[in-house]
Every structure is written in structure tokens, then in C-alpha cells.
Chain A
């Protein structure tokens, strides 16, 4: 079965602290992994995808096939990073399986 698990529903950090949002997936094939973000009163938008290996807004994520993980990291959190973050798994077809999301709050 294809599944994405985000173990933390809520995550709270202070500004300037490192942040890591966890994502684990279950899929027997070759996965495509994504992070989507939804800021307050805005649309869901793509943050990054593992295949591009980019750093977006200071965030990075490394696909670890051995641990079936795709954790999102940022060394120094900013208040504007407060949002809902969704990890998503793409399989062989053009559809995504989303995790339940983690609400990140960055406190001043």
C-alpha cells in the first residue's frame, strides 16, 4: 500500500532555531517525493521535490530510500515559515498520496 506518514500534527519552534518536519513513506517502487506548503489563507503550493534537489526558502529535503524518509529541514526558522506542510508521494501514475500534514508555528 502507498502511504505517507507525518508523525507530528503540530510543531512549534522559536525563530532562529533549526526545524525538521518528518515524513516517512511506504511504497515498493521508485518514489517521487514532494513537500507542499499552505500559508494562512493562501493556496496549497509546491515547496520542493526531491528530484530537483533545490533549496527553496532555505528548506532542503533529502530522500533516504533505506529509511523511506523525506524529512524537511531548515537551519534557522523564520516567523514567515509558519504554515501547514504536507509531504506527498508520487507513484507510477499522475497522482499524489498526501500525508495528513504538520502545522508549523515559529514563535518570535
Chain B
């Protein structure tokens, strides 16, 4: 079966711009989680969606937002980009949640803010 697909794979944006990242989960999976990975902070939880509802949110500013569609695909948006937003953004899909069911990660979107 197809794995988790994240698009685009690479992005270069300018400070102040906004960006939208997409995640298509494995068919049948209803939970999508987003994580930011940086060399300094490691993997940090952004938010988690289940059946179009945000169930959890990490400690990120309001510039970071997301949503999930009825087909379980998810998008995250970062507005007013800052240099510190440069990171690898990973999404993970699971049947009902990353703790209670096995999660599968995408390859990530590498965002560079210049």
C-alpha cells in the first residue's frame, strides 16, 4: 500500500512569506500528526488531527496552523515566515493516534527561509 506522501519535498521561501505543506496519509488512517525537526531542538510536536478535528497542539506560535480534510489529507500553514522556521517538517499517519496505533512517517518537507 502507498506510504505517507508529503509535498513538496523542498521549499525555499523569503522571510515574511507564508507557506503551505501537504500530507497525504495512508488510506484508512484518520490521525495525522505534524512534527518539526531541527538540529538544535530535535523533533518537536506541532499538532495532531483526527477526523478533521485538532485534538492536540504543541507549543508553537499562532503563525503555525493546520487543518484536515474529510479524506484525512492534512495541510499545515506557516505565516509570516522567520529564519528560525527553517526545518524539516514531518507528518505521521496512524489509524487512530500515534500513541495507540503504529505511526508511519512521511519523508518530510525541507523548508528553508532566507
* Chain A contact residues, CB within 8 Å of chain B: 32, 43-46, 86, 90-91, 93-101
CA distance A108 to B104 in the complex (A): 31
Most chain A beta carbons < 10 A, residue from B90, B99, B106, B107: B99
Closest A residue by C-beta to B107: A43
Classify the secondary structure of B's interface with A.
Answer: strand
- Nearest CB on A from B10, distance (A): 15
Q: Which residues of A sit under 8 angstroms from B106, Cβ to Cβ?
A: 43
Mark each residue of chain B from 75 to 92: 1 if its CB lies under 8 Å from any CB of chain A, else 0: 000000000000000101
Q: Which of A43, A44, A96, A99 contacts B45 (CB 8 A)?
A: A96
- Nearest CB on A from B6, distance (A): 10
* Chain B contact residues, CB within 8 Å of chain A: 3-4, 31, 33, 35, 42-45, 48, 50, 55-56, 58, 90, 92, 96-100, 102-107
Q: Which of A43, A86, A90, A99 contacts B99 (CB 8 A)?
A: A90
Closest B residue by C-beta to A98: B43
Q: A46-B102, A90-B99, A94-B96 given. 10 additional CB < 8 A pairs?
A: A32-B99, A43-B107, A44-B105, A91-B99, A93-B48, A95-B98, A95-B99, A96-B43, A98-B44, A100-B42
